[in-house]
Amino acid sequence: MWNLMKTAMLMAAITALFMAIGAVIGGQSGMMIALAVAVAMNFFSYWFSDKMVLRMYNAQEVDESTAPQFYRMVRELAQRAQLPMPRVYLINEDAPNAFATGRNPQHAAVAATTGILRVLNERELRGVMAHELAHVKHRDILISTISATMAGAISMLANFAMFFGGRDDEGRPANPIVGILVAILAPLAASLIQMAISRAREFEADRGGAEISGDPQALASALQKIHRYAQGMPMEAAERHPETAQMMIMNPLSGGGLRGLFSTHPSTEERVERLMAMARGA
């Protein structure tokens, strides 16, 4: 419940920040224009982000005839989660990872790398795919898409404020120092909020995935394995499209070295600790 409340507060904060920058640039009218731009960008992301990210990773759709064991596993977990059957994709990539995408549970897709199928045993793989289905159930794809879009738009508006200045409600030039501060601090604040949203949703997906699979210990073991491999095995597609790294079950770009406020994912140690507490019935 705390993670849900935290996410709601963070989403409100990033929306307020977006509108505040619009107000700095163009007063009340600028704030309304900024809100309209945010709505338009989120609409586009809502409808098309899944197709875009699957194309970025050259993901290939599979079914019961082309990947029978994996496909049946996802179907069984989807039934346990009371979700519609998502589309299932494989990515020809050695680095072990997985993600979910799609605008809602009726139009969802889950994808896994061929590497994760080789590295994990069946119990661990079930835990990972249950985690991804928990993202679908909680509509985290939509939340992360909106937060990423808003953060990008805030950076764009901040740059506009620096180069072109701002106007108050009477059309007078705004204080240039304010414009410079906005240009520097606003993108940083937006990124911090976006990362905090991402971390909260990962904790919630770990919890939900453990409940769907009924095996918190298996997901904990999978996270430890993926963490070890991620440090020495780069994921080429993620390096070309770093904006998608937050979608993965583990950030393939962090190499285990990013911590605290500037990480899109919680530390593996804390995630494992929480899952083991679930396994112990705590």
- Tell me which residue of 33, 3, 31, 36 sits closest to 16, measured CA to CA: 31
Alpha carbon of 151 to those of 10, 14, 195, 199, 224: distances in Å?
A: 12, 8, 10, 15, 30
Beta bridge partners of residue 100, listed in sequence order? 110
132 included as an active-site residue:
yes
Catalytic residue (one of 64, 76, 122, 132):
132
Alpha carbon of 210 to those of 68, 89, 205, 259, 273: distances in Å?
A: 23, 22, 8, 24, 13
DSSP per-residue letters across 132-153 = HHHHHHTTHHHHHHHHHHHHHH
CB 69 within 8 A of CB 75: no
Distance CA 161, CA 34 (A): 12
- 70 contact partners, CB below 8 Å, separation of at least 6: 62, 88, 90, 112, 117, 125
CB 278 within 8 A of CB 264: no
- Residues labelled catalytic: 132
